[in-house]
Amino acid sequence: MAGTLMRMKTQRLVILIASSIALVAAIAVAVVAYLPGKQPVFEDLPGLISALQAFSQDRTKQGQPLPSTVSLGELVSHGYISSNSVRAFEGMEARIWLTVNETEPQKVLMSARLPDGSFSAVLADGSAHHFSSQGFAEHLRTVGQQDAAFNGNKPIGSGTNGVSGAAGSRR
């Protein structure tokens, strides 16, 4: 029974996240459009949803709670999705906030730290926002959202995850 309830909560969360990921990707790509070269477009939403489901299911099977966030880099380094699939976020620290629900509309659902240090974020109400680094930290404090791992993670493509672009996903 507890497993069924956890799966239902996870499925609701994944649906909410899925509806916002493409929006964050578009915002992040638009904001970094000034960078030299052509910025890739995020095209693997089904793959990312599958990766989040597999990550959540693995945590549940192992009897571990879901962390408050997971970075795209973590999903890549653990083989849930290939780095090619999330290439549009290269150079950014993109995180999906897993403990958000529809009753907390101002909480961050997905965020991306851009190369200039600012943040693009989609809130649980579906709205998209651009924050300075300080403004993002203040927003998180205001809504009571915390993630100790958030400040220490490296951007995708920083060479820290050790997974090649050809890495397979667990889908």
Structural domain for 94, as ranges: 2-152
User: Which pLDDT score is estimated for 102?
Assistant: 79
In a domain, 122, yes or no: yes
In a domain, 161, yes or no: no
Write the pLDDT tens digit of every residue in 67-96. Answer: 889 999 999 999 999 999 888 888 888 999
User: Which pLDDT score is estimated for 154?
Assistant: 46
Amino acid at 150: F
Which ranges constitute the DSSP H helices of 32-164? 45-61, 72-77, 133-143
Say which residue the tokens 């956890």 belong to. Answer: 6
In a domain, 87, yes or no: yes
The total domain count for the chain is: 1
Q: What span, in angstroms and rounded, lies between the C-alpha atoms of 105 and 83? A: 30
pTM as predicted:
0.68
In a domain, 28, yes or no: yes
pLDDT reading at 7 higher than 80:
no
In a domain, 90, yes or no: yes
The CB-side HSE value for 39 (13 A sphere, CA atoms) comes to 21
pLDDT band for 166, please (50, 70, 90 cuts).
Answer: very low
In a domain, 162, yes or no: no
